[in-house]
Amino acid sequence: MKVRLRSNPRIEIVAIGTSTGGPAALAEVLPRIPSDFPVPIVVVQHMPPIFTRLLAERLASRSAIPVHEASAGAVLSTGQAWIAPGNFHMKVIRAGAGWCLNLNQGSKENSCRPAVDVLFRSVAAACGANVLGVVMTGMGSDGVLGAQAIRDAGGEVIIQDEASSIIWGMPGLVHASGLADAAYPLDCLAAEITHRVLESRGHRVPHDSKSYATLERPAK
């Protein structure tokens, strides 16, 4: 599969979805996001109540950017991350010139609440083509329909590669569905997210070519 070549809309938000192996993966990614990161980050990690708050606190203690457990009505600010609370779906909705968070306990999707698909559909609806979706390690299919929504709106979707994933279910199905622009090892994801965001916003950013990974797997 080839990496999709197309226009490069200005990225206004990064949406991350992950499940099994996600807490450790997020601990590799969020602490590497620079303090002057110019857009908000929203995250769904499949995890029950209380544990999402503890995860946010642990990531905040290690990161240059503030990391919060999401609260209803929170206004999204640049250079900050929000993690969906356990047992609540999280949506990004338009609020004037910006965006805020909506939390709800609607029906589970893919047996999950929070669900990545719910978040991804909402950012596609609220932000159009100005979205970078990231699907990381996890079991199941959550994120595939959401990735389709982001792509249909003109946004980008990248995934964690198979070799660095604890379980390549979620990112693997995004790949198999032809919805991933590219796949990257876990230790390259933060740099790639930062690069794509800054480059889309007109910054000239040197890129270490070693961080690139193709979507094609070598024959075993």
One-letter amino acid at 84 equals A
Q: Is 53 exposed, middle or buried (0-12, 13-18, 19+ CB in 10 A)?
A: middle
Closest CA to 47 of 30, 70, 80, 14: 70
Q: How far apart are CA 98 and CA 13, in angstroms?
A: 11
E strands along the chain, which residues?
Answer: 13-18, 41-45, 67-69, 81-83, 89-95, 98-104, 131-135, 156-160, 182-184
User: Exposed, middle or buried by CB within 10 Å (0-12, 13-18, 19+), for 38?
Assistant: middle
Catalytic residues: 19, 46, 142
C-beta separation of 14 from 42 below 8 A: yes
